[in-house]
Amino acid sequence: MSAADVVVVGAGPAGLGAATELRRRGVGRVVVYERELQPGGVPRHTAHLGYGARDLHRITTGPRYAAAMVRQAERAGVEIEVGRTVRSFADGTVATTGADGPATVHAGAVLLATGVRERPRAARLVPGDRPAGVLTTGALQQFTTLHHQRVGTRAVVVGAEHVSFSAVLTLAHAGCQVAAMVTPLPRHQSYAPLRLATAGRRRVPLLTGVDVVEVVGRTRVEAVVLTDGTRIACDTVVFTGDWVPDHELARAGGLPMLPHAKSPVADATGRTEQPGVFAIGNLVHPAETADLCALGGRAAALSVMDWLALHDWPTAVRPIEVRPPILWAAHTARGITLRVAEFVEGRIECRVGDEVLHRTKHRLWTPNRAIHLPLAANASTRILLSPVERLQ
């Protein structure tokens, strides 16, 4: 069995950010395992501007951002092994499988940075046959950006959050007309300028208060049927957003999960319930921007170094306690991020016991959109977040 000071699982912005920082601070052997054949994570196939504001201090495209992250890691002496999937971690032993077979490595610390994915059609329990043409935004962007494949001629986009509008743009660039966007919520959940610049200028109808209940077609998608009975002819359906962490490895390793986020419970520095095991990036907060994930990885590196030097670990790592309609809250490099279940008005309060740590202005909160609170919470502090007034 070989040995590494730190094993990082996943070469996305979080994993590469952490690994680079560890090497820059003098940690000996830092190995990143990546199951895909190229490092860089999701940004590799999101070929639009919007990356790097808070960590690189410039705005760039996803592929350029990914390339910059990989370059930094390689220059710092991080060993990146691609095409190798981590299958388990237990008591510092990490088991992997790649093209040349299985291997194990002993690690002083393990960082899980496996990211997030969109809930696919099967997990959304949408009935119908299994024709070609059913995608998520991630799959759509991989087909078009990485493999330069055609996707179809007429699509329905399911969802109306930020990533859904990104899907509209990708479809337009791929020469595929968007017949409609569909959301069960009463309005879209993105920024008005983003909607205008993507769906608005292409006159894509946004159908609210309805969902897709059937995908029609045997070999290729022919139509979708909505909850109100409307049938929309299309040859492509893109299920967007509705993020779920890539958490199978963390679950199999026995880490407790947040019920709604379905992410491993971790404190502000990434420490989980298991000594020496850290969880970072979108695995713990589905889903934030890449720069926040990279900064979170860098911050976790300091905590990893403390562990390697002192072998000190909190007796318990508690989740942040939330009250409905708040679904979940998690730590980021810039405070706390949370999500609400529905459109709701009021203030959000953070408390420790009876003491109010933070109170926001009264405003409308949007589901499927990140809500950030600039609050440095103690890892073991119990914090209660609740809207003071709930108008809906």
Ligand X SMILES: Cc1cc2nc3c(=O)[nH]c(=O)nc-3n(C[C@H](O)[C@H](O)[C@H](O)COP(=O)(O)OP(=O)(O)OC[C@H]3O[C@@H](n4cnc5c(N)ncnc54)[C@H](O)[C@@H]3O)c2cc1C
Nearest distance from residue 349's CB to ligand X, in Å?
Answer: 28
Applying CB under 6 A, does 141 fall inside the site for ligand X?
yes
Applying CB under 6 A, does 253 fall inside the site for ligand X?
no
Applying CB under 6 A, does 113 fall inside the site for ligand X?
yes
Applying CB under 6 A, does 289 fall inside the site for ligand X?
yes
The pair phi, psi for residue 200, each rounded to 5°, is -60, -50
* Helix or strand (DSSP H, E) at 225: strand 223-226
Which of the stretches 6-14, 20-28, 354-362, 369-377 binds ligand X when contact is defined by CB under 6 A? 6-14
If one counts every other C-beta atom within 10 angstroms of the C-beta of residue 120, the result is 16
Q: What is the total count of residues that contact ligand X (CB under 6 A)?
A: 38
Burial 223-232 (b: 16+ CB within 10 A, else e): bbbbeeeeeb
Applying CB under 6 A, does 9 fall inside the site for ligand X?
yes
- Identity of the residue, 64 or 351, whose beta carbon is nearer to ligand X in the bound complex: 64
Nearest distance from residue 328's CB to ligand X, in Å?
Answer: 16
The identity of residue 53, as a single letter, is: A
Question: Strand pairing of 30-34 and 2-9?
Answer: parallel
Burial (CB count <10 Å: 0-12, 13-18, 19+), residue 53: middle
Applying CB under 6 A, does 85 fall inside the site for ligand X?
yes
The binder of ligand X chosen from 27, 29, 30, 114 (CB under 6 A) = 114
> Within 118-137, which residues bind ligand X (CB under 6 A)?
137
- Identity of the residue, 15 or 346, whose beta carbon is nearer to ligand X in the bound complex: 15
> Within 161-200, which residues bind ligand X (CB under 6 A)?
163, 166
Applying CB under 6 A, does 80 fall inside the site for ligand X?
no
Nearest distance from residue 39's CB to ligand X, in Å?
Answer: 7
Nearest distance from residue 48's CB to ligand X, in Å?
Answer: 6
If one counts every other C-beta atom within 10 angstroms of the C-beta of residue 300, the result is 31
The binder of ligand X chosen from 4, 8, 31, 50 (CB under 6 A) = 50
Applying CB under 6 A, does 281 fall inside the site for ligand X?
yes
Radius of gyration of the chain (CA): 21
Q: Max CA-CA distance within the chain?
A: 62
Applying CB under 6 A, does 332 fall inside the site for ligand X?
no
Cα gap 42→40, rounded to integer Å:
7
Applying CB under 6 A, does 305 fall inside the site for ligand X?
no
Applying CB under 6 A, does 86 fall inside the site for ligand X?
yes
Nearest distance from residue 346's CB to ligand X, in Å?
Answer: 28
The binder of ligand X chosen from 42, 171, 182, 204 (CB under 6 A) = 42
Applying CB under 6 A, does 270 fall inside the site for ligand X?
no
| DSSP structure string for 282-323 | GGTSTT--HHHHHHHHHHHHHHHHHHHHH----S--PPPEE-
Planar angle of CA 291, 295, 245, nearest 5 degrees: 70
Nearest distance from residue 155's CB to ligand X, in Å?
Answer: 15
- Identity of the residue, 96 or 366, whose beta carbon is nearer to ligand X in the bound complex: 96
> Residues 54, 8, 137, 159: what is their CA dihedral angle, to the nearest 10 degrees?
-70
Nearest distance from residue 36's CB to ligand X, in Å?
Answer: 5
Applying CB under 6 A, does 35 fall inside the site for ligand X?
yes
Planar angle of CA 271, 96, 118, nearest 5 degrees: 65
Applying CB under 6 A, does 12 fall inside the site for ligand X?
yes
Question: Strand pairing of 93-98 and 371-373?
Answer: unpaired
The distance from CA 108 to its chain's CA centroid, rounded to whole angstroms, is: 26
- Identity of the residue, 128 or 243, whose beta carbon is nearer to ligand X in the bound complex: 243
- Identity of the residue, 199 or 293, whose beta carbon is nearer to ligand X in the bound complex: 293
Applying CB under 6 A, does 43 fall inside the site for ligand X?
yes
DSSP code of residue 17: H
The binder of ligand X chosen from 78, 207, 249, 295 (CB under 6 A) = 249
The binder of ligand X chosen from 5, 36, 214, 306 (CB under 6 A) = 36
First-to-last alpha carbon distance for the chain, in angstroms, is 57
> Residues 339, 340, 343, 349: what is their CA dihedral angle, to the nearest 10 degrees?
-100
Q: Mark residue 102 as left, alpha or beta (left: phi above 0; alpha: psi -120 to 50; beta: remaining).
A: beta
In the complex, the residues that contact ligand X under the rule CB under 6 A are 9-15, 33-36, 41-43, 46, 50-51, 85-86, 113-116, 137-138, 141, 163, 166, 246, 249, 281-282, 287-291, 293
